[in-house]
Chains A and B, each alone.
Chain A
Amino acid sequence: MKNLKNLDKMTNEGVDNCSVEERRHFLKMGLTVTGVFAGGTILSAVSSVNKVYASTSGFVEKYPYKPHYSMIMHIENCIDCEKCKSACAETNGVPSYGFRTNILERQVAGALDQQREFIPVLCNHCNLAQCTRVCPTKATYKDPNNGIVMMNIEKCIGCLSCQLGCPYNARYFNEEKWAVDKCTFCWESRLSKGAKTTGCSEACPAGVRIFGDLSNPSDRVYKEVHQMTKTVWVLRPQAGTKPNVFYTRG
């Protein structure tokens, strides 16, 4: 009450001393409220984080593909052993100069103990994929059934427009195929043959890469993306491509 009386005399503290957690809580609160104003349901089990970062509108509870293949990364477990990369290269014939998946490293300034974080990256199989939009020959396209961003190497002319269009650096030029190559969630090598997961996900010894169906409420990926307790995010949300690779900690 004392503070309230002196409100007019108080100076703005700014946000310099505001911890990341506080900002995050504040943002979450704000976004939840915004969701309500925008017609969202306050009793919805879908977290506001998901609404905002992953699928802003249109794809929140109604997914355009069935199955809607997706991956969630538990990045605090990643130790950059790169067994995923080896498995990927072996499964999909990726040459040593190329990659379908990669591991990025980030130094976490100000952390008390662990100051290094590894971030696995791969094609995000975006709902609004920019690579397919800019491809002049439709050599790269969204599979109409499962939403995987595929390559038709017969049509690829090697112009590399897709590389420029992709916000995630998920493509490389394969000199043997003379076409751009990229992650297809192991569609040709595994999923189309009945496998339930990708090569990288199966090879990960630390349970980082969880692969599944985002449209299936009994699937682990669905459950981990649609919850309120842990923050879930996507890389480069500002690109607005509605990616299907999610990240979380813990």
Chain B
Amino acid sequence: MRLILTTILCSSIFLLAGAATTLAEGDYPEDIYYMKPVIGVVFSHQLHVEDNGMDCDSCHDGIFEMEARLAENEESFTMAGLADGEFCGACHDGDTAYDANTRCTTCHVGVIGYSRAHGLVNEEGPAHH
């Protein structure tokens, strides 16, 4: 099943890559919210692809699988792992992009950020009793 999914995803990406060097708006998934090892770490394709002009191969060539959130299953998907250059840390090393060890809440939007993005809270924040 995973193989089929990957194949489909890969072929669609190849088709897209043939049409344009970078993806157009809407051709990539919505923001991804990682839930492990901590809840609410956001990754924005829009920010990385549209705003920063990166292409698929920048990450999907050995760093991240095409399927979203598979990284959560890896033991090195931690802040220590990132510091060793794994996953986000491949670029977020303080050289290519800002160090993963800084600006914590830029990516860590937390339970509050996750809830807001999924319409689980009103604009005033989480419910209080």
Contacts and interface: CB of A to CB of B under 8 A. Distances in A.
A103 interface: yes
Interface string B116-128: 0000000001101
B113 interface: yes
Contact of B110 (A81, A113, A169, A173): A81
Given A103-B112, A114-B106, A81 B129 contact: no
| Residue among A77, A79, A82, A97 with the highest chain B CB neighbour number at 10 A | A79
Given A80-B110, A80-B113, A81-B110, A113 B129 contact: no
B47 to A, nearest CB: 13
A190 interface: no
Q: How large is the interface on B (under 10, 10 to 19, 20 to 34, 35 or more residues)?
A: 20 to 34
Contacts of A114: 103-106
A99 interface: yes
B89 interface: no
Given A80-B40, A81-B40, A81-B111, A117 B129 contact: no
Q: How large is the interface on A (under 10, 10 to 19, 20 to 34, 35 or more residues)?
A: 20 to 34
A76 to B, nearest CB: 7
B14 interface: no
Nearest to B103: A114
Contacts of A169: 128
Given A81-B38, A104-B125, A169-B128, A117 B105 contact: yes
A82 B110 contact: yes
A81 B108 contact: yes
A240 interface: no
Given A77-B104, A97-B129, A172-B129, A113 B98 contact: yes
9 contacts: A77-B104, A79-B104, A80-B109, A83-B38, A97-B129, A105-B112, A105-B113, A118-B110, A206-B104
Interface of B: 37-41, 98, 103-106, 108-113, 125-126, 128-129
Interface of A: 76-83, 97-99, 102-105, 113-118, 169, 172-173, 205-206
Shortest Cβ-Cβ A-B pairs, 4 listed: A80-B110, A79-B108, A81-B38, A116-B105
Given A79-B108, A80-B110, A103-B112, 5 more contacts: A79-B38, A80-B105, A80-B108, A81-B40, A105-B110
